[in-house]
Structure 1
Amino acid sequence: MRVAFVGKGGSGKTTLSALFARYVASRGLPVVAVDADINQHLGMALGVEEEALPRPMGAHLTEIKEYLRGGNPRVSSAAAMVKTTPPGRGSRLLELPGAGAAPDGPVEPVDPIHAGFGVVTPHGPRLMVTGPFDEDDLGVACYHSKVGAVELYLNHLVDGAGRYVVVDMTAGADSFASGLFTRFDLTFLVAEPTRQGVGVYRQYRDYAADYGVAVAVVGNKVHGPGDVEFLREQVGEDLLVCLGHSAAVRAMEQGRPFALADLEPGNVEALGVLLARLDAQEKDWARFGRQAAQFHVRNAEAWANRAVGEDLAAQIDPDFVFGPTRVSL
Structure 2
Amino acid sequence: MAALFTQYLRTAGHRVLAVDADVNVHLAPLLGVTADAGTALSHPDNTRRVRTHLLGTNPLVDGVDHFVATTPPGPGSHLVTLDPADPVLAGHATALDPLTHVMHVGTYEPKDIGAGCYHGHLAILENLLSHLDPDSDGWVVCDMVAGTDAFANSLHAQFDVIVVVAEPTPESVSVARRYLSLATAAGVADAVAVVGNKVADDVDLEYLTEELGIAPIGVLGMQTGLRRARQAGVPPHPGDLDDASALSAIAAHAEIRSLPPAQRESLMRTLHLRLANKGWVRAAHGDVTSQLGAVR
Q: Same-fold call, TM > 0.5?
A: yes
| Cα drift, residue 144 of structure 1 | 1.1
Q: Which amino acid in 2 is paired with 1:207?
A: L
1:262 is aligned to 2:263: no
| Cα drift, residue 248 of structure 1 | 2.4
1:58 is aligned to 2:42: yes
1:187 is aligned to 2:171: no
Which of the residues 54, 62, 77 maps onto 1:68?
Answer: 54
| Cα drift, residue 160 of structure 1 | 5.6
1:224 is aligned to 2:201: yes
Do 2:31 and 2:235's aligned partners in 1 also have CA atoms closer than 8 Å?
A: no
Do 1:22 and 1:123's aligned partners in 2 also have CA atoms closer than 8 Å?
A: no
In structure 1, the residue matched to 2:26 is: 41
1:116 is aligned to 2:91: yes
**Percent of paired sites with the same residue:** 35
Do 1:22 and 1:124's aligned partners in 2 also have CA atoms closer than 8 Å?
A: no
Q: What pairs with 1:174-213 in structure 2 (closer than 5 Å)?
A: 174-213=149-188
* 1:175/1:255 CA distance change after superposition, 3 Å: farther
In structure 2, the residue matched to 1:23 is: 8
* 1:208/1:284 CA distance change after superposition, 3 Å: same
| Cα drift, residue 65 of structure 1 | 1.2
Q: Distance in 1 between matches of 2:33 and 2:142?
A: 16
Q: Distance in 2 between matches of 1:272 and 1:25?
A: 12
Q: Secondary structure at the match of 1:256?
A: coil
Q: Distance in 2 between matches of 1:261 and 1:175?
A: 27
| Cα drift, residue 161 of structure 1 | 8.5
Q: Distance in 2 between matches of 1:74 and 1:90?
A: 9
Q: Which amino acid in 1 is paired with 2:120?
A: S
1:79 is aligned to 2:65: yes
Q: Distance in 2 between matches of 1:251 and 1:159?
A: 39
In structure 2, the residue matched to 1:4 is: none
* 1:227/1:160 CA distance change after superposition, 3 Å: farther
In structure 2, the residue matched to 1:241 is: 218
In structure 2, the residue matched to 1:13 is: none
In structure 2, the residue matched to 1:290 is: 266
* 1:50/1:305 CA distance change after superposition, 3 Å: closer
Do 1:31 and 1:125's aligned partners in 2 also have CA atoms closer than 8 Å?
A: yes
Q: Which amino acid in 1 is paired with 2:41?
A: M
TM-score (norm 2): 0.91
Task: Give the root-mean-square deviation of aligned CA atoms.
Answer: 2.1
1:275 is aligned to 2:275: no
Highest RCO, 1 vs 2 (Cα 8 Å, sep ≥ 6) = 1
Do 1:36 and 1:130's aligned partners in 2 also have CA atoms closer than 8 Å?
A: yes
TM-score (norm 1): 0.83
| Cα drift, residue 258 of structure 1 | 5.2
Do 2:225 and 2:242's aligned partners in 1 also have CA atoms closer than 8 Å?
A: no
Q: Distance in 2 between matches of 1:47 and 1:203?
A: 33
Q: Which amino acid in 2 is paired with 1:221?
A: K
Q: Distance in 1 between matches of 2:169 and 2:26?
A: 24
* 1:48/1:301 CA distance change after superposition, 3 Å: same
Q: Distance in 1 between matches of 2:246 and 2:18?
A: 19
Q: Distance in 1 between matches of 2:92 and 2:159?
A: 20
- Count of matched residue pairs: 291
Deviation digits for residues 252-304 of structure 1 (CA, Å, limit 9, x no counterpart):
332433563632342x1221111111112134111111112111111110131
| Cα drift, residue 318 of structure 1 | 1.3
| Cα drift, residue 50 of structure 1 | 4.9
* 1:165/1:54 CA distance change after superposition, 3 Å: farther
| Cα drift, residue 238 of structure 1 | 4.3
Higher mean alpha-carbon deviation, 206-215 vs 37-46, is at 206-215
| Cα drift, residue 317 of structure 1 | 1.6
Do 1:34 and 1:165's aligned partners in 2 also have CA atoms closer than 8 Å?
A: yes
Q: Secondary structure at the match of 2:142?
A: strand
Q: Which amino acid in 2 is paired with 1:133?
A: Y
In structure 2, the residue matched to 1:32 is: 17
List runs of 5+ in structure 2 lacking aligned partners: none
Which of the residues 37, 56, 74 maps onto 1:88?
Answer: 74
| Cα drift, residue 141 of structure 1 | 1.5
Which of the residues 125, 128, 133 maps onto 1:158?
Answer: 133
